[in-house]
């Protein structure tokens, strides 16, 4: 019999709150984290908005020397991981650190240090490049630093699958526990690429919303007037634990992870396939893995990016996978409030989905005032909804055709 996996710890750093409690209260109240970019001069940019993390102090989680030698995505990962670790109550004085692992994904690593050091190279020559360039830029350093910070010596890795990264990390980590290679995993995603090159690159791709004069209404998943996603940043980390291990130590259990699906579109670098084949199959794979029927699902935390194509295709995917039940399942998008956290999105949204199950409150999709006729499902517009959620799903679909779906169940 496969070992059962439960979530025993949650941590988050987001544009609407730097703790899990602040984040969750923000989601439920419909708090908006989008505003004008303050990180750099945007006067020459046609997109000048983002969902920035605000008032975050990395010195609460890392020493001054560590902060100086690492990048934002590492700071966020360590902060969220330490929150989740404290929340779960695991104690290395009683546990074997070789049986607890880390899988924290990151989509892009640090463009900030690359941009800084390229300018340094051009102005001052190669001898002036910082020796910390490589460890500060590589995407796996979030996972590496979490392992170091918590002293965890079990399986350690960093998936990189664009916007599906965080969900792939959690799904893959659950299988490591099921396989018996760990009793617990600290897992999720982290990202921070609010830099001139990244904003410029996504703008050139025509992926971002250009509502500079109205930032709070820029992220509007499933709305007819949506014009692109809003870049966000942050980290979401959960602690997965083998059920019997969690029960033995009397751990609080937020939810059980019962299903995981992953597929590839094999279609296009950035666009989802028009018939929703890859994403609908991903949902079906997750349902099969969970050994449940579509009608068993009460809620879907949607990928819901606010781009014209994604929201339409995700709606079609749900219809193809759920059939008649598609009209009955509640769906909402956290990205309406926090923007798109790229590699961190799946981790943050999994934590939110666990809280939805735990509290019986479905966060709303804000800014949904003019529904797209092609997006005609129940997206819980504007106001949070109380409901008994027995089984919930979280979708993440990334560039390159990477798809991931997690299924959580009330314990």
Which of the residues are catalytic?
Answer: 163, 303, 340
Distance CA 358, CA 368 (A): 25
Full DSSP string of 288-340: HHHT--GGG--EEE------HHHHHHHHHHHHHHHGGGGGTSEEE-THHHH-B
Full DSSP string of 96-157: -GGGEEEEEEESS--HHHHHHHHHHHHHH-GGGS-TTHHHHH-TTHHHHHHHHHHT--S-EE
Q: What is the C-alpha R_g of the chain?
A: 20
Residue (of 165, 174, 243) closest to 407 by Cα position: 174
The two three-digit tokens of residue 100, written as one number: 């607890």
Full DSSP string of 81-101: HHHHHHHHT--TTTS-GGGEE
Quote the Cα angle for 406-407-411, to 5°.
135
Task: Report yes or no: 378 and 319 within 8 Å, Cβ to Cβ.
Answer: no
The two three-digit tokens of residue 227, written as one number: 């014009």
User: Measuring CA to CA, how many Å separate 352 from each of 99, 138, 251, 267?
Assistant: 27, 27, 19, 30
Check the CA dihedral 289-85-183-106 and report its sign: positive
Please report which helix (H) or strand (E) contains residue 408, including its range.
strand 402-409
The two three-digit tokens of residue 43, written as one number: 């006067």
**What phi-psi label fits residue 140: left (phi over 0), alpha (psi between -120 and 50 degrees) or beta?**
alpha
The two three-digit tokens of residue 369, written as one number: 């005032």
Task: Report yes or no: 62 and 130 within 8 Å, Cβ to Cβ.
Answer: no
Decide: helix, strand or coil at residue 74: helix
Decide: helix, strand or coil at residue 238: strand
Task: Report yes or no: 319 and 309 within 8 Å, Cβ to Cβ.
Answer: no
């Amino acid at each position: 019999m496969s070992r059962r996996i439960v979530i025993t710890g949650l941590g988050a750093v987001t544009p609407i709150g730097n703790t899990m409690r602040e984040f969750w209260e923000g989601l439920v109240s419909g708090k908006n984290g989008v505003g004008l970019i303050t990180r750099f001069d945007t006067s020459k940019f046609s997109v000048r908005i983002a969902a920035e993390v605000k008032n975050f102090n990395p010195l609460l989680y890392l020493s001054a020397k560590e902060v100086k030698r690492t990048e934002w995505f590492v700071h966020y990962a360590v902060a969220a991981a330490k929150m989740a670790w404290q929340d779960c109550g695991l104690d290395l004085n009683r546990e074997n650190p070789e049986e607890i692992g880390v899988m924290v994904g990151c989509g892009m690593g640090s463009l900030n240090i690359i941009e800084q050091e390229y300018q340094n190279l051009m102005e001052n020559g190669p001898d002036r490049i910082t020796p910390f360039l490589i460890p500060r830029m590589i995407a796996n350093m979030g996972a590496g630093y979490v392992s170091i910070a918590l002293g965890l010596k079990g399986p350690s890795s960093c998936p990189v699958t664009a916007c599906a990264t965080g969900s792939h990390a959690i799904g893959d980590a659950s299988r490591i526990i099921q396989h018996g290679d760990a009793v617990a995993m600290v897992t999720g995603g982290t990202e921070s690429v609010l830099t001139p090159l990244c904003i410029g690159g996504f703008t050139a791709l025509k992926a971002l919303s250009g509502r500079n004069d109205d930032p709070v209404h820029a992220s509007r998943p499933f709305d007819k007037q949506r014009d692109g996603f809003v870049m966000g940043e942050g980290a979401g980390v959960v602690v997965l634990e083998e059920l019997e291990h969690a029960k033995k130590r009397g751990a609080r259990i937020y939810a059980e992870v019962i299903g995981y699906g992953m597929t590839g579109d094999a279609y296009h670098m950035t666009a989802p396939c028009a018939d929703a084949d890859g994403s609908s199959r991903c949902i079906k794979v997750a349902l099969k893995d969970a050994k449940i029927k579509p009608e068993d699902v009460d809620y879907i935390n949607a990928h819901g990016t606010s781009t014209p194509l994604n929201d339409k295709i995700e709606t079609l995917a749900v219809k193809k996978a759920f059939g008649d039940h598609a009209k009955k399942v509640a769906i909402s998008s956290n990205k309406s409030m926090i923007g798109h956290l790229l590699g961190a999105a799946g981790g943050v949204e999994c934590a939110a989905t666990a809280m939805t199950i735990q509290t019986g409150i479905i966060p709303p999709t804000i800014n949904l005032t003019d529904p797209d006729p092609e997006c005609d499902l129940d997206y819980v517009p504007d106001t949070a909804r109380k409901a008994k959620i027995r089984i919930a799903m979280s979708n993440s679909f990334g560039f390159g055709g990477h798809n991931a779906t997690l299924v959580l169940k009330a314990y």
